[in-house]
Copies of this chain bind each other. A is one copy, B any other.
Amino acid sequence: MISEKMSVMVKNSSITRAMFEEGKRLAAIYGKENVYDFSLGNPSVQPPVSVKEALIDIISNEDTTFVHGYMNNSGYEDVREKIATKLNQVHGTSFHTNNIIMTVGAAGGLNVILKTLINPGDEVVTFAPFFGEYKNYADNYDAKLVVISPDKETFLPNLKELEEKLTKATKAIIVNTPNNPTGVVYSEETIIELSKVLEKKQQEFGTNIYLISDEPYRELVYGDVFVPYITKYYRNTIVGYSYSKSLSLPGERIGYLVIPTEVDDYEEIFAAASVATRILGYVNAPSLIQRVVARCLDSEVDVSVYNENRELLYGSLKEYGYSCAKPEGAFYLFVKTLEEDDKAFCEKAKKHNILIVPGSAFGCPGYCRIAYCVSKKTIEGALPHFKKLYEEYKEAEAK
């Protein structure tokens, strides 16, 4: 008999992942080329060639017991130093080795920092729509996830409601910009306003409210969009980063936490996060790939491919009649479903072999997420089906 918590988890198990499995099943029946799987954020763009070069050079030339061996739970010191230096160059920050903890992806990082901070009953706040796993991560540490309802005009954070919902029990707030599932990027102005609310409430309650910035999409922005580095605006900011998207390495589980020195109780938090990395059973971020990313800090994937997908898919869906805000970052479109029941809509899309995720999975019913980190061919193949799906709804309405 499995645990009660896991029974619930299994029942509610991520719709996104179920879709991924469903995609494989349909592909086996209809052929891969006839299934349009937009369900998962699995990068379609190859890792930069520097990744391959670094891998081969390290394997060929470095000491294998070092490269595959244990290191500090927080990661290789030289790797952490290089990452700190790179962040300082790009963002004008002043991080050092002991502000960085290498993690098993951003998911690992979020769990490490929640394990570090959360007492049972603490509240963790986030803005809908949000990455559904936040709920599970909060639940791992018996925190209550407090969800701020979405602003469906802009999908920017609803700061008025935030102010109302922050309490003495608020220990952390998770912010995700560029956002999954909307692709929205918070402007500098928004970050400043958000920081003001948090500062005010910290003072009012005499508590620390840690802003956890979940940033796997930081580098995936289009045009000259500016993504503010939040540690510079709000003192109690902790950053969770991942190379899953920026270097197309999602399976490798490699990322890091930034715990700035100016954060309240920095020393305790940094020490505890290193211990949490061990205790949660990660032990350390995978070793070889730590050394690889340290050599690829100036590389990133070719974002123009995602941009072409974005333009094609966004332009076509708008033309057909769908309603959707143009995303500035990440690789998702968040589209209004053609009926209120987003799950029913996604089921109808599935009849056209189109796999997309209901907005309910992100705390925002009435919408669906289309992940466009796919081949251009998949989009081109799917477009007539998206058009037909729209026409079906219009015809049904007309009757």
Q: Is the CB of B3 within 8 A of A115?
A: yes
Q: Is the CB of B283 within 8 A of A40?
A: no
A230: Cβ under 8 A from any B Cβ? no
This chain: how many copies in the complex? Answer: 2
Q: Which residue of B lies closest to A24 (CB)?
A: B72
A46: Cβ under 8 A from any B Cβ? yes
Q: Is the CB of A265 within 8 A of B2?
A: yes
**Which of B40, B45, B116 is A2 in contact with, Cβ under 8 Å?**
B116
In the bound complex, CA of A264 to CA of B6 (Å): 16
A65: Cβ under 8 A from any B Cβ? yes
Provide the A232-259 mask, 1 if CB < 8 A to any CB of B, else 0: 0000000000000000111111000000
CB distance from A293 to the nearest CB of B (A): 11
From A80-88, A180-188, A270-278, A321-329, give the one contacting chain B: A270-278
Provide the A1-17 mask, 1 if CB < 8 A to any CB of B, else 0: 11111110110011001
List residues 1-58 of chain A with CB under 8 A from any CB of chain B: 1-7, 9-10, 13-14, 17, 20-21, 40, 42-47, 51-52, 55-56
Interface of A is mostly: helix
Q: Is the CB of B69 within 8 A of A251?
A: yes
Residues in B with CB closer than 8 Å to A141 are: 3
Q: Which residue of B lies closest to A44 (CB)?
A: B65
**Which of B3, B55, B60, B280 is A119 in contact with, Cβ under 8 Å?**
B3
Q: Is the CB of A272 within 8 A of B47?
A: no
**Which of B46, B253, B283 is A286 in contact with, Cβ under 8 Å?**
B253
**Which of B10, B55, B105, B285 is A271 in contact with, Cβ under 8 Å?**
B10
A-B contact list, 8 entries, CB within 8 Å: A3-B117, A6-B115, A10-B272, A14-B275, A17-B73, A20-B70, A69-B248, A136-B278
A residues near B (Cβ < 8 Å) are 1-7, 9-10, 13-14, 17, 20-21, 40, 42-47, 51-52, 55-56, 59-60, 64-65, 67-73, 104-105, 107-112, 115-119, 133, 136-137, 140-141, 208, 248-253, 264-265, 268-269, 271-272, 275-276, 278-289
